[in-house]
Amino acid sequence: MEDKIKRLKEIIDGSDNIVLFTGAGISVPSGIPDFRSANGLYNSGLTKYGVSPEEAISHHFYELRTADFFEFYKNNMVFKDAKPNVAHKFFAELEKQGKLKAVVTQNIDGLHEQAGSKNVFNVHGNIYKNHCEDCYEFFDLDYVLGFEGIPLCDKCGGVVKPDVVLYEEALDTKTVQGAVDAIASADTLIVVGTSLVVQPASSFITNYFAGKNLVLINLQATPFDKLANLVINEKVEEVIKKLKELQNENQKQNK
């Protein structure tokens, strides 16, 4: 692993336009479960509603069984107390340094923004943004969580829907365009904590990335490993801690 950390540092040091692409794995150290792992939510069988977890966060379930949708959503998809971990903070710092130009994330937890990242493309939406389906008034997460059942707009009484992309819904066109533009212009793409099986987000890599360095940091192998310049199958928090240690050692030697 030590050689791979050195190589990762070399790649970052030699890059001027890094884009980060993240999945659930980057937020696991913050206490948010990886839903697609062997013991994850998506492999847990039917919910108490008689449907799979995927169906429970689908558009048609939201439309037909709105109260059940919100109960499931609040209990399984929202982790308000989660805080950014060392990986979120490290990449936010890279952005401040001007090396990292954008974050493209499949996560809806908002932890990149909380860590300080500014240019974030939330391709699956964000739990902290919610809107009334009738008058389009926007509400924060606390407003939605404050309702026992279905959250209703205090202006017109319409249903307040989370701005997250449910199954059967299309991705936001403007967000997708920003994400693919960033990936297309990157010289280095660092992919963290994703199995790269969720479409269409994972297709962004094969369809748009043409840079010189593809780095994959994930516990398990992915379908893209053979395309990568560097693959690190370790916990992301351990990788970042060791990378920071190496950076600190080099700084001391250069003084």
Residue corresponding to tokens 């609040």: 74
Query: Residue 145: is its pLDDT beyond 80?
Result: yes
Task: Give the pLDDT of residue 38.
Answer: 43
Average the pLDDT over 218-225 and give the result.
93
Does the pLDDT at position 13 exceed 70?
A: yes
In this prediction, residue 39 carries a pLDDT of 46
Average pLDDT over residues 154-169: 97
* pLDDT over 60 at 228, yes or no: yes
Across 66-92, average pLDDT: 97
Look over the chain and give the mean of its residue pLDDT values, rounded to a whole number.
Answer: 93
Out of 42-56, 68-82, 151-165, pick the least confident. 42-56
> Homologous superfamily of 2-32+83-124+171-254 in CATH?
TPP-binding domain (3.40.50.1220)
Give catalytic residues, as residue numbers.
124
| pLDDT for 41 | 57
Supply the angle between the helices 236-254 and 86-96 in degrees, to the nearest 10: 50
In sequence order, what DSSP letters do the residues of the chain get, joined into one string? -HHHHHHHHHHHHT-SSEEEEE-GGGTGGGT---TTSTTSGGGS---TTSS-HHHHTBHHHHHHSHHHHHHHHHHHT--TT----HHHHHHHHHHHTTSEEEEEES--S-HHHHHT--SEEETTEEEEEEEETTT--EE-HHHHHT-SSS-B-TTT--BEEEEE--BTPPPPHHHHHHHHHHHHH-SEEEEES--S-STTTTHHHHHH--SSEEEEE-SS--TTGGG-SEEE-S-HHHHHHHHHHHHHHHHHHH-
- The band of 200, judged by pLDDT with boundaries at 50, 70 and 90, is confident
User: What's the mean pLDDT in 179-197?
Assistant: 95
pLDDT at 1: 84
pTM above 0.75, yes or no: yes
Q: In this predicted model, what pLDDT tens digit does every residue of 124-138 receive, in sequence order?
A: 999 999 999 999 999
> What are the domain boundaries of the chain?
2-32+83-124+171-254, 41-76
As a whole number, mean pLDDT of residues 58-85 equals 96
CB 167 within 8 A of CB 106: no
Phi, psi of 208 (to 5 degrees): -130, -25
